[in-house]
Structure 1
Amino acid sequence: MNSEWNQMVTVAQAYRLGTRFLEGYRVESPRFISELLLRVALGWDRTELFTRFHEPLPSEAAHRFITWLKKRAEGIPVQYLTGEQEFFGRSFRVEPSVLIPRPETEILVETVLREADNIWKGRSVTAADMGTGSGAIAVTLALERPDWGIVAVDRSPEALNVARQNGVKNGSGDRIRWLQGDWLDPLRKRDIRVDVLVSNPPYIPVGEIPHLDAEVREHEPRIALDGGRDGLDPYRILVRGIPAVLKNPGLVVFEVGENQSEIVGNMLEESLAGAQVSFVSDLAGRPRVVVARTDKR
């Protein structure tokens, strides 16, 4: 590949070389990935890229672009190369210490907002995000509902550092309380009670991890994937502790994996007597979110 770059190339030529290189390694969507990496390497938006297509490619951008192409061919996710991922229309910093936010998790956030509005009719509430990772859920809730109090918990100090950066980046950092610890422990130790508890925990059964796509299996943090033998260990831990931290009325919203919704729903019904449990499906019709609502007053 490097031999083709020995002479000065234009932005257009770099785009074509990048596309051809990725095609050779059978990387999915080679044209899109080549364009994206080139734009980020240059610091340009899409309009600027195509209006300046025939300009020479600066050497620093060329070096960055070539390095990223090679790493993408090795299976490293694009988001870890560019250092960002969009979620709920906002840009979030990501690095290998955090799971890359998925579009389906936006359904989780939408559900929290809708259900909370139904219960509290726009009044201020306190919400806790368990296993916050990149902070995408906590930061989004803080921005969508500026009058809410938000607590975000993660056991990983590296993940919390990324989450704090995303709070600052998106202008919500000073309204979120960041706590390090295992699941509900930081809330219990500080006697924090919340109206809303939300989580997208690890839910992949440990035996299925070797069969995940290589870029997920080999590059995303295992701690954010491994849900134990059946993928349900984090839910068991959370559900056992919820009565001690959830106010009444209260709302619990979990993202779940395939074939887990009914089991998690039953856990919540047993833990929260009288709770109304419902499910929200993704665009493919699969139950993706479990909701438990307690309305005793």
Structure 2
Amino acid sequence: MQPSHGGPTGAGGDPQGSGRRAPGPRSLLLAEVAQATRRLADAGVPSPRFDAEELAAYVHGVKRGELHTVKDSDFDARYWEAIARREAREPLQHITGRAFFRYLELQVGPGVFVPRPETESVVGWAIDAVRAMDVVEPVVVDLCAGSGAIALAIAQEVPRSTVHAVELSEDALVWTRKNAAGSRVTVHAGDALRALPELDGQVDLVISNPPYIPLTEWEYVSPEARDHDPQMALFSGEDGLDTIRGIERTAHRLLRPGGLVVVEHADTQGGQVPWIFSEESGWADAADHPDLNNRPRFATARKALP
């Protein structure tokens, strides 16, 4: 029997007749992704290949690992519109309208801070700490909640917890409420520095990813953050620590004796933040912790026992 393809070398052009098929022509979409990757790299995008693939998956309604399944006839020219937006340094998450955080998929967009991967290690520490507490139904407060990523992750992974999310910005609250809809998280509109007096002395853990960038470092902030994240979520005084100082006071008021506070900070502030939670202010065991890249990322402290 003569082979239907490949002549005498065997099916699919395999000279050894082993049954392996020669690679076919590259799909149009994968070729476009490669071109888009080069464009994003030239624009200074930090993760050009990932972003090019993520946008292709978003536009075509598939997962990143399924891009090869998109037929050439189904290629959507809107992909290049999305690439142009990312090329201009609009955040990937604003283009897709979604951000992934631990086990969550969140809705995000203009007016709310996009959650970052480094915050996942902060939340992981907090979840482990809450689980280790000898408390049946722990009470957790997330200050400067933004998208609600921290509060929702804790509520999801510590099912018996009662979680409160506090956010001041009306623009950000739109996204907090969207993401928290149907969850066990209670959203509060208000200033983190005056939050929830009705819970004074009753909270087991206070956590926050506050603004912490010094005003003097504005020009060094990436375009994605500087031009698209809300300013009030980024900057906090000349040294970047004004909000953290206020959170120290709020946390001490809210926590029960022995309760914990967890605060994210810049990797350049590791030597400063633990000192804010001093013994003189009623704290114990203040310490700093690294992120997955071994850079100082968050500080923790325990409210001293009476």
Normalising by structure 1, we get a TM-score of 0.85
Structure 1 partner of 2:256: 247
Equivalent position of 2:86 in the other structure: 72
Change (3 A) 1:263 1:270: farther
Deviating more after overlay: 12-21 vs 102-111:
12-21
In structure 1, stretches of 5+ residues that fail to align are: 1-8
Which of these residues, 265, 268, 277, is aligned with residue 268 of structure 1?
277
Residues 230, 57 of structure 1: CA spacing in aligned structure 2 closer, same or farther, 3 A cutoff?
A: same
For 1:1-297, what aligned pairs fall within 5 Å after superposition?
Answer: 10-22=28-40, 25=43, 27-52=45-70, 54-57=71-74, 61-63=76-78, 65-118=79-132, 120-121=133-134, 123-168=136-181, 173-188=182-197, 190-192=198-200, 193-270=202-279, 272-294=281-303, 296=305
Amino acid corresponding to residue 243 of structure 1 in structure 2: H
Alignment check: 8 A CA contact 2:195 2:250 kept: no
CA gap of 1:176–1:11, structure 2 versus 1, over 3 A, is same
Q: Is the 8 A contact 1:107 1:289 kept in 2?
A: no
- SS of residue in 2 equivalent to 1:254: strand
Contact kept, 8 Å, 2:210 with 2:233, in 1: the verdict is: yes
* CA displacement at 1:26 relative to structure 2: 5.1
Name the structure where helix makes up a greater proportion of residues.
1
Number of residue pairs matched by the alignment: 279
CA pair 288-13 structure 1, distance change in 2 beyond 3 A: closer
The worse-fitting range, judged by mean Cα deviation, of 33-42 and 235-244 is 235-244
Kindly provide the CA deviation profile for residues 227-248 of structure 1, in whole angstroms up to 9, marking residues without a partner as x: 1110000011111233322112
| Structure 2 residue aligned with 1:3 | none
How many Å separate the matches in 2 of 1:146 and 1:86?
A: 20
Residue 90 (structure 1) shift: 2.2
Contact 2:284 2:301 in 1 (8 A): yes
What does residue 7 of structure 2 align with?
none
Which amino acid in structure 1 is aligned with residue 106 of structure 2? F
Describe the SS at the equivalent of 1:257.
coil
TM-score, normalisation: structure 2: 0.83
Alignment-mate amino acid for residue 266 of structure 2: G
Deviation at 1:10, TM superposition (A): 4.4
RMSD: 2.3
How far apart are the structure 1 equivalents of 2:127 and 2:284?
Answer: 19
Secondary structure of 1:261's match? Answer: coil
CA shift in 2, pair 1:56/1:161, >3 Å: same
The secondary structure found in structure 1 opposite 2:74 is: coil
Q: Which residue of 2 aligns with 1:4?
A: none
For 1:11 and 1:278, locate their aligned partners in 2 and report how far apart those are by CA, in whole Å. 49
